[in-house]
Structure 1
Amino acid sequence: MKAKVSVVILNWNGKHFLEKFLPTLIENTNIPNTEIVVADNGSTDGSKDTLEGFKSVKKIYLDKNYGFTGGYNRALSKIESEYYVLLNSDIETPKGWLEPMIEFMDATTEVAACAPKLLDYHRKQYFEYAGAAGGFIDLFGYPFCRGRILSEVEKDHGQYDTPMPIFWASGACMMIRSELFHAVGGFDQDFFAHMEEIDLCWRLQNHGYKIFSVPQSYVYHVGGGTLPNNTPFKLYLNYRNNLWMLHKNLSLRALLVVIPIRLVLDWLSALVYLFTGKFSFFKSVLKAHHHYFSKISTLNTKRKSEKRLYSAIRYKGLILVDFFIQHRRKFSKINFY
């Protein structure tokens, strides 16, 4: 019988996380018509042997590392269920973590995807960087969250416990209607990893659907478990994919304004890396810009194929100005609406 909910972990060399968190996930996901699937993305650390010890877990073995985007697209094409829950391998799931999201999605039809409250595994009273209580982007495409503005992470006092529309749900833990995931083409595989969930959520909203935060559900995220934080490669992916995402999804009028300014801002940050001796990070920005311009033709083709209703909830302000000049470093201090 087809499951209603498939919790899908895309694993790449995460044997230690599987050993640590998979038993708890199995114990706390004992819900009728719900299955747990682990798709292994060509791991070489013995993950396959570890997975074979979990008899109740379904397995999908991919022949190589296709990245977050290609790995999930391939895995989800083999899974039939009403809802997918994309879950990082470095997440601890407490008892009752999934039920609020299922109940919320069952009660709505206009919501394509939702996310739980993402808390820090190491500091459980704090939000976690990758998603906190729901994500947004500003006028120039800089992402931020309820509970995390740039590098400033808030303590969770229940201040963001109200469900609300958001711009993006973190790929660390996201529940999405399977039909809509496939209808919009899934993840953009050119992204490989990073920003891909923001691009997906933007496209879903351009098709008239909403993304929601459901903080009654919460999980604990280690962070940096699949790709280490603060590496030149991660910086490259973030800069490149952000430009690709903006080029694909902005209106033509906004594109002609936003992209030139964003390129200048990127260069300013690159110069900071250069003058502070972080040469590998400086080269990452240059490489990201090179690969942005080299893909202009492909990006223009993708723009033509995308539907746009411009219903996406974007912050019309500048988060860099809020943070550095006006010292508004909490989501509650931002004049969002």
Structure 2
Amino acid sequence: MTEPTVLTVILNYRTPDLTIRACEAVLRDMQGLSGELIVVDNASGDGSADRLREAAAAQGWNTDSRFRIVESSRNGGFGAGMNLGMLAGLSDGAAPDFYYLLNSDAWPDPGCIRELRDFLIATPGAGLAASGVRGVDADPHSTAFRFPSASGEFEAAARTGPISRLLRNRIITLPLPPTRTPVDWAAGASLMIRRETFLATGGFDEHFFLYFEETDLCRRAALAGWETWYLPDVCVTHIGSASTGMKVWRRTPQYWFDSRLYYFTKNHGRAYTIGTTLALIAGTLIWRLRQLIRPKPSSDPDGFLNDLITHAARRVLGLAPATPKPVAALPEDSR
């Protein structure tokens, strides 16, 4: 029997040094596995692709066809870049059995890739498997979630004990599971996808530039009958937001609001989207009131509430569900 193949895809956007470190970790972890690593440069425009090629040549990554660089002609965001890498397939033109998506600022622990692959092989109903994620300070990151909802958004914005207790079964961010367990969705920082699941979903919806694309993919996978699992006992180290700068946002970018609105409208319709936005506004107002009563540090970017209201008022009236862009055919199945 031929060993199942894994294609690891790393998306680079102006983080060549971090990407090189991620490549080194991946190639070490894929020793003894059948598969390849592909780096998609998402139109960085800063010489990243040349820097990656130089590193590959210096470290001998090009000698056995296990490493490639693909340059995108545009920065279409996370989903578009990952789709490009997955659709490229293996160097012989075949489609792999599994796709492992890894952030450019993440490094898998030894055995991580094999464990994710073997779990999917042993669990026929699982279409996606996410590893645990820790920071460089060794603190675990919350990367397992429930699907967003109006009540979940209200709870997350209000950040108030009685509300959280009342809506405990709707809280979007799950407590870190102690054992392997199915979840609604998991972050794409370290995520393995079964080929059949990619075929069933068509890959990422490229209408999302950044954020909510993994949520949407896992939701479509669930509707197609595939589970998403979270495996806390295998892990990657992740810096976080190296390309997006989310940790130091002074204002929430337009694309975050666009992605949020598109996700809810596509999956739940316009009326529910309006209700969810009103719930988010109401929760944020409750948090603001709490700050007036008892000063608390704000975790929201500057102008978040005003930007949310302005964006919703401008977009909701003309909002209509969009049809996801079609994804090109996968490379020929080698089975």
Report the TM-score range of the alignment, normalised by the length of the smaller protein.
0.7 to 0.9
- What amino acid is aligned across from residue 265 of structure 1 in structure 2? A
State the match for 1:265 in structure 2: 279
2:265 corresponding residue in structure 1: 247
- Answer yes or no: is the 8 Å Cα contact 1:203–1:249 preserved in 2: no
Structure 2 stretches of 5 or more lacking a match? 90-94, 154-171, 293-297, 327-335
Residue 94 of structure 1, aligned match among 109, 116, 119: 109
Secondary structure of the residue aligned to 1:145 is: coil
**Mapped contact 2:35–2:96 kept (Cα < 8 A):** no
Residue identity over aligned pairs, in percent, reads: 24
RMSD over equivalenced CA pairs, Å: 3.0
Q: Are 1:298 and 2:316 an aligned pair?
A: no
> Which of 136, 139, 146 is 2:175 aligned to?
146
Change (3 A) 1:210 1:270: same
Aligned pair partner of 2:128 in 100, 103, 113: 113
Residue in structure 2 matching 1:199, options 196, 213, 216: 216
Between the aligned partners of 2:186 and 2:264, the Cα distance in structure 1 is 17
Do 1:270 and 1:285's aligned partners in 2 also have CA atoms closer than 8 Å?
no
For structure 1, the 5+ residue unaligned runs are 148-159, 306-337
Q: Which residue is 2:164 aligned to?
A: none
User: Letter of the aligned partner of 2:6 in structure 1?
Assistant: V
Instruction: Say how many residue pairs are matched.
Output: 280
Contact 1:119 1:128 in 2 (8 A): yes
Distance 1:73 1:203 in 2: 15
The alpha-carbon distance between structure 1 residues 260 and 282, as it changes in their structure 2 partners (threshold 3 A), is closer
Deviations 1:163-185 (A, max 9, x none): 11101021111100123223322
1:172 to 189, 199, 219: 189
Query: What is the deviation of 1:3?
Result: 7.2
Contact 1:240/1:289 (8 A) holds in 2: no
Look up the match of 1:136.
146
Using the alignment, how far apart are the partners of 2:317 and 2:202 within structure 1? 23
Deviations 1:177-209 (A, max 9, x none): 123223322111111110100011011101121
Further displaced range: 19-28 or 282-291: 282-291
Partner of 1:289: 312
CA distance in structure 2 between the partners assigned to 1:9 and 1:247 by the alignment: 29
2:15 maps to amino acid: G
* Distance apart, 1:136 and its partner CA: 1.7
Indicate the SS of the match to 1:105: helix
Report the alpha carbon displacement of residue 72 of structure 1 after superposing the two structures with TM.
1.6
Counterpart code for 1:238: W
Distance 1:213 1:4 in 2: 21
C-alpha offsets along residues 95-126 of structure 1, whole Å, 9 cap, x if unaligned? 111121111100122111010011112x21x2
Task: Report what 2:162 is aligned to.
Answer: none
- Judged with a 3 Å threshold, the aligned counterparts in structure 2 of structure 1 residues 197 and 19 are, in CA distance, closer, same or farther, namely same
The one-letter code of the counterpart of 1:207 is A
Measure the CA separation in 2 of the matches of 1:110 and 1:3.
17
Change (3 A) 1:205 1:266: same
Q: What does 1:222-241 align with in structure 2 at a 5 Å threshold?
A: 222-229=239-246, 230-231=248-249, 234=252, 236-241=254-259
Q: Does 1:44 align with 2:73?
A: no
8 Å Cα contact 1:235/1:284 also seen in 2:
no
Contact 1:244 1:292 in 2 (8 A): no
Give the equivalent residue in structure 1 for 2:11: 10
Distance 1:91 1:194 in 2: 18
> SS in structure 2 opposite 1:115?
strand
State yes or no: 1:163 paired with 2:164. no
- Scaled by the length of structure 1, the TM-score of the pair is 0.73
